[in-house]
């Protein structure tokens, strides 16, 4: 794992941090001395589990923040609560994402479409916009990392069409915001993930063994592999990388 004193006191908001890659990322950030806003919606994480085997002070290094990111008022409230706690923002990881409901595109309704777009595209945009404003105001040369999906490349399945569409748009947003923010020293990059050993894929992929055989590496990724790349993109060691999408997909 990357070791970088840059993360000591680093103020970062991580969405979708109650499990899987988000929880693994929080633990690594805490272990390196960061101050972390831990967003969740339905499943409140355990503070004791989050700080276990780290040097984190629960009263200083972490803040639990609940919000439904499909609601733009709650999304903005999440960011404002983080700023009230941390004072400013150095990093944002737009990790939260899900398929609202698995329906064939011929059966999906307007509410389902809106829910997929709100969580996977609108919320990351709104949080990024708020973070950029804060970073620009404070002269912070911060970093935003958007978590995309291989669905952006292949379009998802007929049952996850709008999830894939939202992730594709998220990557386009990354290109655009990266170019805009580069003169300010603010970086926006994306990490496109393939199939990972997380609750998300276990919940949404009917036959994981069949899906794994489609991956050239013949295995799923593990959260720690994604965390390494997220930490790298957040770090000043990637100071010249902006507006890029990194694929971590086992060769797909």
Helices (H), 64-218: 72-86, 110-117, 123-138, 151-154, 161-181, 199-204, 208-212
- Residue 20's nearest CA partner among 230, 252, 237 is 230
Distance CA 233, CA 166 (A): 22
Q: Which value, in Å, is the radius of gyration of the alpha carbons in the chain?
A: 17
Distance CA 18, CA 50 (A): 9
User: Catalytic residue positions?
Assistant: 163, 167
CB 161 within 8 A of CB 100: no
């Amino acid at each position: 794992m990357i070791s970088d004193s840059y993360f000591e006191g680093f103020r970062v908001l991580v969405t979708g941090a109650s499990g899987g890659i988000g929880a693994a990322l929080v633990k690594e950030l805490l272990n390196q001395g960061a101050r972390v806003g831990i967003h969740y919606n339905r499943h409140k994480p355990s503070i004791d589990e989050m700080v276990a085997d780290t040097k984190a002070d629960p009263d200083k290094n972490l803040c639990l923040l609940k919000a439904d990111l499909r609601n733009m008022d709650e999304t903005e409230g999440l960011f404002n609560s983080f700023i009230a706690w941390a004072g400013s923002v150095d990093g944002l990881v737009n990790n939260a994402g899900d398929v609202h409901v698995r329906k064939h595109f011929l059966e999906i309704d307007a509410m389902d479409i809106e829910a997929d777009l709100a969580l996977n595209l609108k919320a990351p945009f709104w949080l990024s916009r708020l973070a950029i404003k804060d970073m620009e105001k404070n002269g912070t040369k911060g970093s935003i990392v958007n978590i995309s999906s291989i669905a952006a490349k292949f379009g998802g399945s007929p049952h996850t069409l709008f999830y894939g569409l939202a992730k594709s748009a998220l990557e386009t947003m990354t290109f655009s915001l990266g170019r805009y923010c580069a003169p300010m020293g603010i970086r926006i990059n994306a990490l496109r993930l393939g199939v990972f050993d997380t609750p998300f894929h276990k919940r949404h992929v009917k036959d994981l063994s069949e899906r794994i055989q489609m991956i050239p590496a013949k295995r799923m990724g593990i959260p720690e592999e994604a965390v390494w790349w997220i930490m790298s993109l957040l770090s000043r060691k990637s100071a010249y990388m902006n507006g890029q999408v990194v694929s971590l997909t086992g060769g797909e």
